[in-house]
């Protein structure tokens, strides 16, 4: 089996110094291994790197970033078979997260694991979403 790294070139994936976050931190946005695509956790800053004032915008931004990574690999949100969401302050925003998720994730639904955590890599972030997608036709 071969592995293929997928790293979108959209400027929203650049650090403040202009370098790709994937190069800067030494990871891939996604890795295709056989028929599956493993997508690294996506967070919810605005495209300019600032943090939204509300949780729902962070949720939408994270799903938009997830969608971009999947599309860079030739996949879509419909190909997701497993979804994992990490939340800071889960109890205060779960209902809002579910509403946003419903706009992006349609039936047949993937599995979904929901975790509350103490914090994420950047202060002020409240969500990180990772996924596994079935893309078929792998080598």
Domains and CATH numbers, the chain: 3-134 (3.30.1330.40)
74, 76, 78, 84 alpha-carbon torsion, rounded to 10°:
110
Q: Are 36 and 135 within 8 A, CB to CB?
A: yes
Query: Taking the mean position of all CA atoms in its chain, how far away is CA 60?
Result: 10
What is the per-residue pLDDT across 95-125, written as a single tens digit (0 to 9) for each?
999 999 999 999 999 999 999 999 999 999 9
Length of the chain: 139
Burial 5-17 (b: 16+ CB within 10 A, else e): ebbbeeeebbeee
What is the per-residue pLDDT across 54-100, written as a single tens digit (0 to 9) for each?
999 999 999 999 999 999 999 999 999 999 999 999 999 999 999 99
């Amino acid at each position: 089996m071969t592995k293929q790294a997928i790293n979108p070139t959209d400027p929203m994936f650049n650090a403040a110094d202009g370098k790709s976050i994937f190069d800067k931190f030494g990871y891939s946005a996604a890795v295709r291994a056989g028929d599956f695509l493993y997508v690294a956790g996506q967070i919810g800053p605005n495209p300019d790197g600032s943090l939204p004032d509300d949780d729902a915008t962070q949720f939408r931004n994270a799903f938009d970033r997830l969608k971009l990574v999947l599309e860079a690999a030739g996949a879509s949100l419909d190909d997701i078979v497993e979804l994992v969401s990490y939340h800071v302050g889960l109890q205060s925003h779960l209902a809002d997260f579910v509403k946003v998720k419903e706009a992006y994730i349609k039936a047949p639904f993937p599995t979904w694991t929901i975790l509350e955590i103490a914090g994420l890599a950047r202060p002020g972030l409240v969500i990180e979403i990772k996924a596994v997608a079935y893309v078929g036709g792998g080598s």
